[in-house]
Amino acid sequence: MNYNSSSIPAIQAESLTKEFGDFTAVDAITFQVEKGEIFGFLGANGAGKTTAIRMLCGLLQPTSGSATVAGFDVFTQPEEIKKNIGYMSQRFSLYEDLTVKENIRFYGGIYGLSNEAIKEKTGILLERLKLHNEAGSLVKRLPLGWKQKLAFSVSLIHDPAIVFLDEPTGGVDPVTRRQFWEMIYETAYGGVTIFVTTHYMDEAEYCHRISIMVNGKIVALGPPSGLKNKLNADSMNQVFLKLVRQS
Amino acid sequence: MSVFFSFIKKESRHIIRDKRTLLILFGMPLIMIILFGYAIRNDIGNSKIVVVDEAHDPYSAQLIAEINASKYFEVSRIVGNEASLNHEFQQEKAAIAIIIPPDFSHRLLHLKTAQVRLVADASDPNTATILINYATAIVHQFQQRLFPSAAISLYIQPEIRMLYNPAMKSVYGFVPGVMTLILMLVSAMMTAITIVKEKETGTMEVLLASPLQPPLIVLGKITPYILLSFINALLILGFGILLFQVPMRGSWFLLLAECVLFTLTALSLGILISTTTSNQQTAMMLSLGGLLMPTVLLSGFIFPLKSMPVILQWFANVIPAKWFIIILKNIMIKGAGWHEVWAETGILSAMTVFFVIISIKKFKTRLS
């Protein structure tokens, strides 16, 4: 079964649940993400977003339910999933004491890319980010916005089918956020599925579809315009507040 | 394999670019070995002795000369009576005093039993005991020279031989001790910190989300430290042997193999610590309190285990450093071979396996 040529959805989750002792962090969430879609995964802090992402990335074993990512089962094929996804964590995930080039090489290396492939990718990546002059400088000397863009590009180095971005724009200025989203669009246009969490409600408008999580449950799911109509709200911010107050 | 290699390359860059790590890795052994080799030693030489010479005759003069000539003592003052003695001790002018009574020569020649009194500053009991022993020995020598056979015919004269370390150099004991300490420090603390650092910065999550297997991640992180520990061990051995003339009487191969084993023990402890915390500070405190303190205090490195309460002696048995120091001393100083150290080696190996199993279990539970 080949994911690329098939009509399998990028992500399919069915009553996916994670319990930590008595606490249900993720409570039977069901949703589907199509190939090439930009899917916004919204929710307040502690709503269960990160736990859900970790299950989908094969970092955390779900308690019950079922889910496939790129056609692979999260229970039985976490290793296959890991080869086919990119992951950018909430916290900045590059090594500050390595140079830009060394970071790219390292991440290319751990995904098993050949030296030639890494060299080629490095060239393309530096060109795209216009970072050629900074290739040899330590990552810690770069401004935060550049770091985030670099981290995103590095998470794509092995051409994953799906990329998970966990609050990628935290603490970044509005201009850079805008540029970042342009990169996301470009990537999605290239056929990569984007699964992104954020708590900036203006960013939610950029997504094709969004889901909103409250207390471990998905309480709303659909395109931003549809959700606004349904809840009689002018902005995503209002949508979010109304949903949170309801529950 | 190339995955593993790129991991090691990255890890080495971390180490090389972190000045503090480098300082701990290579500065610490250097400082310790020099401190212990030159400065901190419990050999006693040229201690100040005050002589209370109430006799003032040729024999007492001869005894004083003999004391002064020994390398252990240096006569700081000769006084006529013992009135000021307490004062001398308090002012640290004397560590020990010898009192020669007025009738010294008279009794020596006519009664054949003379007395001298030795007074030592026992606020430092170990030193006091050693000084008293040295002084007693000098007095014995003196009397033997005066009366070659007759006077002491009824004594049992023990003949003492200090095996393996005839000069009683304390540096013999320090080199194995420092080596143990450094290997523990580098291997356990540094690996714990380096693994926890990845958790703290969030890069561990990205590594775990990659196709890399967790054991490979850990192995990739610790391999450079295994190499560094080994280099460190060689460095300390080199210093000990070339600079301080510590003997190496056993097999080099066995010694180095034991070093590798202990490095693995320490690494497994470091990994174990790294599974319990995700904070560098905590990892450091755990390593210092949980590993270094017992290594210094309860391994027999500085304080002899034999003189400790029984409970502490039992406790010392679970400290890997104790066994490693025994092994090192046996091989280096006594020239022991595999037959003499297999039991200790077995204990260390068992401990290592035990720690590795626990860390694997802990690492797994952290992931699920």
Residue B209 to residue A58, Cβ atoms within 8 A: yes
Closest approach of chain A CAs to the CA of B235, in angstroms?
28
B366 shares contact with chain A (CB less than 8 Å): no
Chain A residue numbers touching B208 (CB-CB < 8 A): 59
pLDDT in tens, B273-303: 998 888 899 999 999 888 888 888 888 887 8
In a mutational test of the A interface, the residue from B4, B205, B221, B364 whose CB has the highest number of chain A CBs within 10 Å is B205
Q: Which of B2, B202, B211 sits opposite A93 (nearest CB)?
A: B202
Does the pLDDT at position B251 exceed 90? yes
Closest approach of chain B CAs to the CA of A164, in angstroms?
10
* Chain region(s) in chain B for CATH 3.40.1710.10: 47-146
Q: Which of B6, B201, B367 sits opposite A110 (nearest CB)?
A: B6
Closest approach of chain A CAs to the CA of B199, in angstroms?
10
Closest approach of chain B CAs to the CA of A78, in angstroms?
9
Token output for B219: 């192995």
pLDDT digit string (tens) for chain A, length 247 residues: 567 667 789 999 999 999 998 999 999 999 999 999 999 999 888 888 989 999 999 888 999 999 999 999 999 999 899 999 999 987 778 999 999 999 999 999 999 899 999 999 999 999 999 988 999 999 999 988 888 899 999 999 999 999 999 888 887 888 888 999 999 999 999 999 999 998 788 888 899 999 999 899 999 999 999 999 998 888 888 888 888 888 7
Task: Give, as one character, the DSSP assignment of residue B149.
Answer: S
How far is CA B312 from each of CA A39, B95, B301, rounded to the nearest angstrom?
62, 31, 14
Sheet of B96-100, strands arranged across: B73-79, B47-53, B96-100, B117-120
Chain B residue numbers touching A89 (CB-CB < 8 A): 202, 205-206, 209
Residue B2 to residue A105, Cβ atoms within 8 A: no
B7 shares contact with chain A (CB less than 8 Å): yes
Does the pLDDT at position B368 exceed 50? no
The rounded distance, in Å, linking the Cα atoms of A196 and A116 is: 31
Chain B residue numbers touching A77 (CB-CB < 8 A): none
pLDDT at residue number B342: 93
Nearest CA in chain B to A51: B368
B74 shares contact with chain A (CB less than 8 Å): no
Q: Which of A98, A102, A111 sits opposite B211 (nearest CB)?
A: A111
Average pLDDT of chain B, as a whole number: 85
Long-range contacts of B240-246 (CB under 8 A, 24+ apart): B240/B33, B240/B37, B240/B171, B240/B175, B240/B179, B243/B33, B243/B37, B244/B37, B244/B169, B244/B171, B244/B175, B246/B171, B246/B172, B246/B175, B246/B332, B246/B333
The residues of A whose Cβ lies within 8 A of any Cβ of B are 57-61, 79, 82-83, 85, 87-98, 102, 105-107, 109-112, 155, 164
Residue B17 to residue A97, Cβ atoms within 8 A: yes
Q: Which of A87, A90, A110 sits opposite B3 (nearest CB)?
A: A110
Q: What fold characterizes domain B47-146?
A: abc type-2 transporter like fold (3.40.1710)
Average pLDDT over residues B126-136: 84
Query: At B42, phi and psi to the nearest 5?
Result: -105, 20
HEC per residue, A121-178: HHHHHHHHHCCHHHCCCEHHHCCHHHHHHHHHHHHCCCCCCEEEEECCCCCCCHHHHH
Residue B13 to residue A105, Cβ atoms within 8 A: no
Residue A58 to residue B367, Cβ atoms within 8 A: no
> Helices B252-276 and B280-287 sit at what angle, rounded to 10 degrees?
130
HEC per residue, B84-127: HHHHHHHCCCCCEEEEECCCHHHHHHHHCCCCCEEEECCCCHHH
Nearest CA in chain B to A155: B206
The rounded distance, in Å, linking the Cα atoms of B302 and A78 is: 51
Closest approach of chain A CAs to the CA of B368, in angstroms?
5
B364 shares contact with chain A (CB less than 8 Å): no
pLDDT at residue number A84: 94
Nearest CA in chain B to A154: B206
pLDDT in tens, B323-354: 999 999 999 988 888 998 999 999 999 999 99
Report yes or no: B234 and B320 within 8 Å, Cβ to Cβ: no
Beta bridge partners of A38: A194
Average pLDDT over residues B249-257: 94
Q: Regarding beta strands A209-214 and A38-43, do their DSSP bridges make them parallel or antiparallel, or are they unpaired?
A: parallel
Residue B202, class by beta-carbon neighbours within 10 Å (0-12 exposed, 13-18 middle, 19+ buried)? middle
B209 shares contact with chain A (CB less than 8 Å): yes
pLDDT tier, B173 (very low <50, low <70, confident <90, very high otherwise):
confident
pLDDT at residue number B171: 75
Q: Is the dihedral of CA A229, A232, A237, A239 positive or negative?
A: negative
Q: Which of B201, B367, B368 sits opposite A91 (nearest CB)?
A: B201
* CA atoms lying within 13 Å on the CB side of residue B64: 23
pLDDT tier, B156 (very low <50, low <70, confident <90, very high otherwise):
low
The rounded distance, in Å, linking the Cα atoms of B101 and B108 is: 11
Domains of chain A: 11-93+160-246 (3.40.50.300)
Residue A61 to residue B368, Cβ atoms within 8 A: yes
Average pLDDT over residues B48-57: 87
Chain A residue numbers touching B2 (CB-CB < 8 A): 109, 112
Average pLDDT over residues B176-202: 88
- Residue count (chain B): 368
- Residue count (chain A): 247
Nearest CA in chain B to A156: B210
Asked if the ipTM is above 0.85, the reply is yes
Closest approach of chain A CAs to the CA of B34, in angstroms?
32
Chain A residue numbers touching B6 (CB-CB < 8 A): 105-106, 109-110
Question: Which has the closest alpha carbon to A33: A59, A5, A71, A61?
Answer: A71
Closest approach of chain A CAs to the CA of B282, in angstroms?
20
Residue A109 to residue B206, Cβ atoms within 8 A: no
Average pLDDT over residues B22-32: 84
pLDDT tier, B126 (very low <50, low <70, confident <90, very high otherwise):
confident
> How many interchain CB pairs under 8 A, A with B?
73
Q: Residues with Cβ < 8 Å from A61, sequence gap 6 or more?
A: A55, A75, B368
- B102 vs B93, higher pLDDT: B102
Residue B211 to residue A83, Cβ atoms within 8 A: yes
Report yes or no: B286 and B276 within 8 Å, Cβ to Cβ: yes
How far is CA B368 from each of CA A64, A75, A147, B217, B279, rounded to the nearest angstrom?
13, 11, 30, 17, 20
pLDDT at residue number B41: 61
